[in-house]
Structure 1
Amino acid sequence: MIKTILITLTLVTTFCLGFTFKSIITKNNDNKMKKVTGIGGVFFKCKDPKATTEWYQKHLGLDTNPYGATFEWYESPDSTKKAQTQWTPFAENSKYFDKDFMINYRVENLEALVDELKKEGVTIVDKIETFDYGKFVHILDGEGNKVQLWEAVD
């Protein structure tokens, strides 16, 4: 009888310790901030954005819109959650970005990420702007390239 009680207590204790350990590990992983979750867009300068868009539509079959082209895809692990990547040619004299190109990265929880980046000494170029399709902010990478961060509203 005592042997059965001791075995049962040992099994229950082992189960509880395992459950507690798993909860601690899972909790720590849940708190880890995701940074970049994908490419939100590729933007580049060109002499004639309209003609460039038409060229890509005609020769490469891009399904274009007034902003360029939007590529839809599904985020994992939820294969029902649709996401998108934007492709947009800009006028070569555009002041929206300084170099010939700019990459937009999709992120989660933009405000928390900006706070973390500030603590890490990253240059934040402007304030977070909110639109009906998401929140945006620009930062500078280690070489001074302007990078756009986007928290999408999907």
Structure 2
Amino acid sequence: MAKITGLGGVFYVAEDPAATRAWYRDTLGIDGEYGPQLNWSEETGDQPYSLISHFKDDEYIKPGKGGFMINLRVDDLDGFVAQLKAKGVDVLGSVDEGYGKFAWLLDPNGVKIELWQQIAAPE
């Protein structure tokens, strides 16, 4: 059975994404190409990771509410989406970006949830 394997990232709107990323780098010592990245060395995939990413606006987070989105890692996106649909959950869409597969849904409060199956290691 497909399952959630961990937190894939937290995404929220920041007035100045570059300054926010610099603060995470300089203050907390975490950095990455798209935002502070936390690698998961104990996962079985090729260089699994989580990240905190910042957006200038909420376009990517829409139709979610609250200016943030929760990204959850999954080990089998297609299988997990099939499980959701069997439960009557409305899946907003899905895409294969090559480095990973994604699908989206809303929680009962309107918070956007992004499901992510990492396919490739970060470059």
Superposition TM-score, scaled by structure 1 size? 0.68
- Residue 146, structure 1, aligned to residue 102, structure 2: no
* Structure with a larger share of its residues in helix: 1
Deviation at 1:81, TM superposition (A): 5.5
Q: For 2:116 and 2:87, locate their aligned partners in 1 and report how far apart those are by CA, in whole Å.
A: 19
Pick from 102, 118, 122 the counterpart of residue 89 of structure 2: 122
Question: 2:36 — aligned with what?
Answer: 69
Unmatched 5+ residue regions in structure 1? 1-32
- Residue 52, structure 1, aligned to residue 11, structure 2: no
Question: 1:37 — aligned with what?
Answer: 5
- Deviation digits for residues 11-55 of structure 1, max 9, x if unmatched? xxxxxxxxxxxxxxxxxxxxxx13211111111111110111112
Q: For 1:71 and 1:94, locate their aligned partners in 2 and report how far apart those are by CA, in whole Å.
A: 23
Q: For 2:20 and 2:115, locate their aligned partners in 1 and report how far apart those are by CA, in whole Å.
A: 25
- Deviation digits for residues 91-128 of structure 1, max 9, x if unmatched? 1x2211132211110102211211110111112112x2
Whether the aligned pair in 1 keeps the contact of 2:4 and 2:75 (CA below 8 Å) is: yes
Listed as ranges, the matches of 1:97-112 within 5 Å are 97=61, 98=64, 99-112=66-79
Instruction: State the Cα RMSD in Å.
Output: 1.8
Amino acid at match of 2:96: T
Superposition TM-score, scaled by structure 2 size? 0.84
Question: 1:30 — aligned with what?
Answer: none
Amino acid at match of 2:92: V
Listed as ranges, the matches of 1:83-94 within 5 Å are 83-91=48-56, 93-94=57-58
Question: 2:59 — aligned with what?
Answer: 95
Larger radius of gyration: 1
Whether the aligned pair in 1 keeps the contact of 2:4 and 2:74 (CA below 8 Å) is: yes
Q: For 1:104 and 1:38, locate their aligned partners in 2 and report how far apart those are by CA, in whole Å.
A: 9
Whether the aligned pair in 2 keeps the contact of 1:36 and 1:106 (CA below 8 Å) is: yes
Unmatched 5+ residue regions in structure 2? none
Whether the aligned pair in 2 keeps the contact of 1:75 and 1:81 (CA below 8 Å) is: no
